[in-house]
Every structure is written in C-alpha cells, then in structure tokens.
Structure 1
C-alpha cells in the first residue's frame, strides 16, 4: 500500500500528541510526518517531507494558521489543509476557504469526525495525484509524438484552405517551431526519385526515399539553412525553405545547388520549384512545384524545372499531327521500317515542340498501339502473339518522360515489323540456323540466354522467343537447357572432371543449381548418372 503523508501543526503539545498517537493512522493508509508547533517549523517540514494533508491550528504564535495556509497556497504543492479552530467565527472560516482550505473543523473535534474529514481529503488528494500522473503520461506521449504532429502541421499548410496566420502562430508555439509569419517568404521544392526499378519491392523503394531525405538534410545542415523536409506520395520529398525579404534570388540558387548536389551524390532525381509565397499560402507553392515537376515529361529525367519557366501545355494535337498519323499507318502495314520509324520520330518531335498535354499524348500513343493490335487481328494473330502477358497500358502509364514513351513505341512498332517480315517467310530458315549456331558456340557461357542472343541477332527478345516457338514447337529456354544437359552427359563420362567443373563448362556457375536442373531433366543426379554411365 502506498501511504500518504499527514502533517499535524498545533502549538499545544497535548493536542499534537493526541492527534498523532491517539489514532492509528497507518490503518487508514497515512504516515504522520512532523509534527510542528508553529507555522515556520511546519514550512520547513513541508519543504522536506512534502505531505499530502495538513491539520493546522488557526491560532499559533509567530506564523498562525491563516498565514501558513497562504504560504502553502503560494507553494502550489497540492496539500489539502484542514483548519482546526476553537472559534466558531464566520470571518475566520471565510478567510480560510478563500485561501484554499479543504475543511474547517471546530475544536474540540470528535475522533470520528476528524478521521472522516482526513479520509475525505485523502480521497480527493488521491484523485488529483492519479490525474497528475495521467497528465504526465499524456505529456510524455505528446513529447514523443511531436515529430509526427509537426509533420502533420506542415502537411496542413500544404493543403488548400489552409490555416490563418493566427492559427499558424498558435500551433507553431505549441509544437516548439520558431516561425515568424509576419516577415519573409516561403517556397516549396518537390523532389522525385527517377531510378526506382518497376519490379522493386516496397522496402527497397522506401529505403531509397529515406536515403534521399537524409541527403537533403545533409545539404541544408552543411549550409546552415533551416529547411523542413516531408516525405510525399509517389516516392517524393517536399522541401520547405524560408527566404528573407529582398533575397528572393537566393531561392533559385539554393534550388539549383541542391539539384546539382543530389545528382553528384548519385541520386537520380528531378525537381519542381514553386514560387515564393507567405507562409499561410504555402499550399500554392506546393501546387506550383508539382505542376513544374510534371513538365519533366518534355525535358527528360534528372531535370530541375521552375514554375516561372513552365509554358501552358496544348490541350490537343495540331491538325498536322493527325495528318502525319495517316501517313504512318500505311507505312507500318507495308512493313517499311525505316520510313515508319523516321516519321514516328518526326511526330514525337512535333509533340515535344508543341508541348502537347501529357494525357493527350498518352491517349494518342495508346490509339496507335490499338491500331497495331487491330492490324495483328487482321493478320489472324491476337496481340498476345507478340506482347505476351505484358500490361501495355500499365507500361505506358509508368513512362515519365516523352523520350521514354518514344523509345517504348519504337520498340513495339519494331516488334510488329519483325513479325511482318517473319510472316513473309524470307528469313525463317536463316534465323533458325543462326540460333542453332549461336547455341553450339556459346552454350558454355553463363550469361548466354534469350536476351543476349536477341541482341546479337538484332531482334527483340519477345519476337525471337515467338519465332523459335513457332518454328520448332519448343521454348528457346527449354531448348538451351536440354542442349546444355546433353553436353553435360558427355562430360560426366570423364571421371577426371568434378561435378562443378562439368557445371561450369555447360554454362552453370552454381553446381547445386546445375544438379537440380540435371535431375529435373534426366531424373538422376549428376553423380547417379556418372555411376550408370
């Protein structure tokens, strides 16, 4: 049991003794401290023992009960003071209550009445202590949550219908942020990672974002610039910087230097830079930064774009783009590769020059891909013949720059034109012969696969895979594996060769993986096959 402390203050020794010893206070969860014969002695005990409850005589020499009560109130200690008085005087009682006395008891006080009054004070004191503990616990939690609350505060400033200046000041003080809302300007710079692999997992992407925010922090810390950095959706970071009035040009210099620093540190990023605004209008700069970052579509990756340099995009194509499209389709259908690719390049150059809006560009590209798909159907083949399980629309949506879209469309167009050439039947036997020749020559190379073969023969992997399957009825990868295992069988007949030597000679760097593939194809491990052979 946790005991509360009880202090008895009375100038009469018999009274002190009677109260302290005449009642078994530990039985009620109370420990007697002191006692004290006057107010000054009581104050010293209060400072040392910090009692919870005090029984105080109102009339004492030196410092009386009312003066002691006044001093206790000044200490703000939470002590519950019960006044003991031999005078049934309303003026005394009124003064005691005004000074914060918990109760006013008349001498001689009955034992049960005294115990009841003290226990009542104890109950109130316990509730106050529990409430104080809860407040302290909540304050500790609040202190731990301050970084999150500060980030929410900045996020709120980045949303439209933002806070008033008065609300900003109030919240900033609460969060311990030194913000002067009456002077200077604020700008938002939005940084986006460019080198995230599409197949990367969430952990890898978040780790890349964390490295970026750390680099941003290092940049500003090294230059003594106060900046606030927030992570944003789509693996972006928002940088908020204050610029003093009259030093607006410094904002552009900071942005340029930051972008150069990030690129030199190996971070592939593009950045959009908003204009300078007052703090309560920071959401405007954030919106402008996002708009500027979108302009990267025309300038390419690893760009820095200022909103002041952004021209409004054209909402649609110029008529001559549609006319060029009408020229393109016949060239594609006739299989005129060189002319078709050249015309496609000219169309994209016009799109870039005219700054056609991104949605319009992607719609037009998807329209072209749809026409290629329809042409395949007309040739009696579904689009999956060339594209397999690729999500064409998702691939298009993932392109962040116009030059990437152009290269991607050229790849699909080349795949289609490769198919047309195959359909004519001019190269079938020659290509198949080249494939067999390459396998015979390079099967022992660990990095020899469909992709490297396609590069060697100047075809796309998808087309080469389709062609081989169409001509032989077998997947190229299966054929290469079977070929390597047949060569391995011959090598295993030589007892001087270790299993890992055989694996290495047929293109496998991992002997365990080789053994697994060997058993999958033959039903035997290499060692078992060697014993039989």
Structure 2
C-alpha cells in the first residue's frame, strides 16, 4: 500500500477529499490528516507517508513552507499541492521545492486518483529500485569484507600513508583515529592436531573467530580481520592507556570464556606494544608477531605480552627454558633412532608445519634456541638440533602434510650425514631454519594444488547450479567443505575475482545467450538464470552490462 497524508485547513473540503476516493481499493492507505502545516509536520515525521497532499494556503504554516520542511526531512516523499488560485508564481515556487503535481481546486475524486496514480507508479518503481539496490549491496558484502581486510592488512603492514589510512578507512566505515593503538593476535589449535583433518580444523577455528567477531560487532574501538596462517588480528584503539589496557584485558577474558566451550582446542593471544601514532601500528604488529612465534613451544593456552603490561588472569604453563640439560655427549656415538623425542613437544613443530609461515621461521628458531638458556653449551644446542631433526623426520608428521617416504628423504636428506657437519650453534640454527623452510615450501605447494582442486570443484558446482536463486557463498563453501571466509579468500586469490563476481558473470553470460538466441520474455530469462525477482534481474543486468535486457536484445537484433 502507498501511504498518503492529507493536509487541508477547511474541514468540509478535507472530508470531501477523504470520501471521494476509495483509498484501499486503489492501493492507497490514508495514514493521517491535519488542518494546517504546523500540526501536520510532526505527524508526517512519525507516519513517514509516501505522498503528501496539501492545500497551498493555510494558517500558521502554508503548504509551500510545509513542503519545504518535509522535503528536507523525507527527500523521497512525493508532494501534491492543491490550490484555489491559478497563480504562476505559486506554481514556479512549488516546482523549485520539488512538488510533483500542482492542481487547482475543486478537484474531483477521479482527477485526484489520476494524479495519485501517476505518482504511485513513480513510487512503486523507486521502491523496486531501492529493494534491488539493497539486495545488490547485500550480495556485494563479500567484496566489502575483502576490501576491509585488505585495508587493515595494508595499514598494519605500513603499506599506505596516514592520509590514505584515514580516507580509505572512512570510505569503508572504519574510524581509525585515536590517541592509542595496539595489535592483538589470536590463534586456535587443536589439542591433538595429528587426529584432526585439516579442513575440520579450519572450520572449528573459523567458528570461534566468527563468535569473537559477533562479540565486537558494532564496537568502534576494535576491528578484527583474518591474517595469513589462520590467525585472527585485532586492531584495538582507545583514548587513554588505562582504557586500552582494560579493553585488551576484556578481549582476553572473552576469549577465555568462549574457549570453555571448545575443550579440544588450545589458544594463544599475543599483545603488541601500545603505540600513539597510526604510522606506528605496524610496529605494534611486528612486536606482537615476534612474541607470537613462541606459541609453537607451548603445551597449553597462553598470553604473550610485555612484562610491563597488566594482564588479568594470565594463563597457561610458562615455557620451560631448562627442559634440556647442558650435559655433553659424543656425536660420533649418537644414535638418532634412540633419542627420546618426548623431551621436546611434538606439537611445537607439528603446529608450526600445519599453520606457520615462511616469515615466522626465523622468529621461531630464535625463540626456540633462546628457550634453552643463555648458559647452554655447544653440545646442548646441537642436541636440540638433533631433536628437531628427529621430530621432522617423524613419518606421521610428514605424512600429515602429504609427504611420502621417498619425498621425505628428498626434502630432509640423510640426517646421519648432516649431523657430522654441525659443529656449532650457528650451524645448527642455520640448518634448522633451512630444514623448516624446505618443509613449509613443500607444504605450500601441496596447499596450492589442493586449493586449485577446490576452486575447480566450486566452479563446476556453480556452472551446474547457477539457476538456483538460493545459491550463496555459504552454500558453495559448504559444498567444497571449507569455511565461507576461507573460501572467499582463496577463491579471489586463485581466480582474481570474488565469488559473487564469478557467479554473476556466469548468470549474465547465459542471460545474454538467451536474449540473443531466443524470444523468451526477459522476466522468464531472469528466472532461468537464477533471479526470481524480474526487477532485480533487470537491475543486475543493467548494472553489469550498462544497458537493460530489452535494450540488449534490441541492439543484438539490429546488429
């Protein structure tokens, strides 16, 4: 129904207008009336009518003044002015205000309906257009999310200037201006990673990250986005040191409470140093990232932060820096197979090989050797190295990455021969870094191949089901068994376009084929390619192709 509000100071005329039209029969509903503009104005703001019918000459506030103030508050409202005076100046002013129709009294019910009908058609068209636009914006939300993620990534890594950060943030609805900033990194691991499928692990962490985002949805002091390696990165900002410290402690408390429902997982939080400039946010990120490397050496959930940061409820076991004693041993008599690799946490390297990145290798190795203790002897360092090598050579570990025995030997080499060449801590560090990087690089190759297969499967599913109006990022991600956010990221990385862009292209290509080669109605073509709403199909077609479906068909026939 089209909502109408009537303003007329003469009671008899107002009653006559009300009774001369069968409002509901013609698709209208009279939502209010008033005897002058001053009384009418607050009622109009409350009822938000689509059409205002107003007399031009009234006491207190006349029709033109009412039209002016109403237009300022409700720009899309349509106004029909009634006047007993055939005055050109009134008409000219009415047009300048944005009045749609200017008609002389007395007006019959038929004439009023005729004018209302013309305005109603415009309103209906506008509402359909707005509905299509809203649906389009919802469909495009994937692009907006990716744009926000890219912006946060570029800002945190110092890739854009302060001016660009402020301007781009404003465009994306992110206000990053504040006196104090800090970066917080969060990652979730399964307690028994060797028993968890990689896709299932990603799904659980995605579920947890989604709940964290829900907690802070609508909050202006913290902005979350996913970082490479299944890490959730939060930008926290505040007006004072005390406020930012309190906010960070709340993040820790919320995470701790949330994880009570995920007993099969452990989690880690790293707090970057608090900085006072936007340009220094990348310093906070680097600080948080450096400390975060220690998470691979923890058996339980842990918060990493500076000694001067007042963390409430710090949890987890401290890293045991004396786990390996400094006893000497004879390398020539060393039996690698007899080493008890339980002296080092299997999870350390397992987690790293599953989730770590090449850029984290050096930080991990540095933190790992530092954990031995400053007074460690050369033999202790080498022993640590041997333990790591033994762990890396574990068949179960490498098989979890898709590495068969032959490939494992090719990647790691002959361990017994390598040990003889390691005679210092520097050589041990260098070799462990090289070894880890080799395995990570191989893991990345496997992942790239897996992602290619996933994308090919997703494309095939889209090609076969694009007619389904219910198809979405979530439904396709579910079909390929990957979380929607992760799927969105890898789809864009592998194809160079977003999922919604790809789906729309598939649908538009088929629509253009049907418009060119058949005489099927455009509304039916829209339904055929996955759009139940013909108006929305026309909206999308014109948005992407530059012309309407009917114009496209005409141009093709004439060419």
TM range (shorter): 0.3 to 0.5
Q: TM-score, normalised by structure 2?
A: 0.41
Q: TM-score, normalised by structure 1?
A: 0.43
